[in-house]
Amino acid sequence: MNNFIEELRWRGMLQDMTPEIGDHLNNRMASAYLGFDPTADSLHIGHLVGVMTLLHFQRAGHKPFALVGGATGMIGDPSFKSDERNLLDKPTLDHNVACIKEQLSKFLNFNEGAENKAELVNNYDWMSQFSFLEFIRDVGKYITVNYMMAKDSVKRRLEEGSGLSFTEFSYQLIQGYDFYHLWKNRNVSIQLGGSDQWGNIVTGTEMIRKMEGGQAFALTVPLITKADGSKFGKTEGGSVWLDADKTSPYAFFQFWLNVSDEDASKYIRIFTTLDKDTVVKLETEHAEMPHLRILQKEIAKQVTIMVHGEKEYDMALKASEILFGKSSTEDLAALDERTFLQVFDGVPQAEISREEFDAISNVVDLLSEKTDAIIFASKGEARKMIQGGGVSINKQKISDPNQTVGFELLQDKYLLVQKGKKNYFIIAVN
């Protein structure tokens, strides 16, 4: 049984923990839970820290519970947020919960045969059994308003002047009761979470102590930031999602490939399962040859395979190499349409009809007048550059200006034209 706390510590994933949790974890299989807010039908990479925490907990021989907040998702956690979030209806939440479980199964072992199999629970299952009067009578009486007001997340909202609805104020009571319910009914003795959740988590330990005289434990991981101070997991296009339909595997791969050197050293510990010796070796190699971006390439590989699989990683890698000339027509043809268009996002496009395309006699006509001079202003310019060896179509060098247009269309629709070393154009045949 690996030492879970030491594993988190060397990875830079340990923020705070209650006393005696180390002794509690020694020589026994303990159970812990971590909550996920089902406000979307996919997790994003901001959730990955929590997911990896549960993964390491299970790898250390313990039993992880992933709690999706079907009930709390109807309320919204006020922790360090400036606005109250939109509330979701139950059918939407049920759909989101099902999608999240499927994503978690890529990281956690839910196999019935495993003694420490992961389990997914939904707090709607027990919170929906309460009436309002029952809840404030049986649960609310154990936590004072003074205790709740002292939480940093609550004080911050009040100090900022934006106010706090009773709905949001009650969130920590519900999360505290979640911990109590799992402690009492599922033998869950630890709650894990981000450092912004500390106040809500210890409300649960306090509730367990007051309601049953029991003992429970808390452990939090740091909130991840980027070296430049900007928010981790956000790009100009928004969040980086684990769902391939929301963020393509290529865009996902590119996010990790483009992290800074300073962030790469931190992220390879947090977001991969590579052991310490391997990580230190990679960092040494990276320091000796930073231009090769060894750390970034390894992070992008490890995380993309973990989330999307080997096949999608291979496609993302080929797509990245296309821009640097290390590719063939076969590599281009292997890309799906979305990835192809993402690789060449922003390059000039020309459109011609399929009838026009079939009637074109040679490449000079194709690259000049038939594509509205977007690629070459004149036939003469096109002919001169082709003869000079400066033109490729679908990564095949064109040497004869009179060559016929017999190219196989990529995705049955596109031709990729390269003019010189860096200028790309797409011809779309509709």
Q: Active-site residues: which are they?
A: 39, 44, 47, 81, 85, 175, 196, 231, 234-235
CB neighbours of 380 closer than 8 A, spacing ≥ 6? Answer: none
Sign of CA dihedral 107, 112, 116, 121: positive
* Residue in 308, 414, 318, 417 with CA at minimum distance from that of residue 363: 417
381: phi then psi, degrees, rounded to nearest 5? -65, -40
Both tokens of residue 344? Answer: 């060449």
Contact 240, 247 (CB under 8 A): yes
From 176, 220, 218, select the one nearest 24 (Cα to Cα).
Answer: 218
The total number of residues shown for the chain amounts to: 430
- d(CA 133, CA 158) in angstroms, rounded, equals 27
**What's the alpha-carbon Rg for the chain, to the nearest Å?**
27
How many alpha carbons lie under 13 Å from residue 229 in its C-beta half-sphere?
Answer: 0
Q: How far is CA 318 from CA 112, 299, 314, 334, 351, in A?
A: 38, 16, 6, 9, 26
Residue partners of 320: CB distance under 8 A and separation at least 6: 250, 253, 254, 257, 343
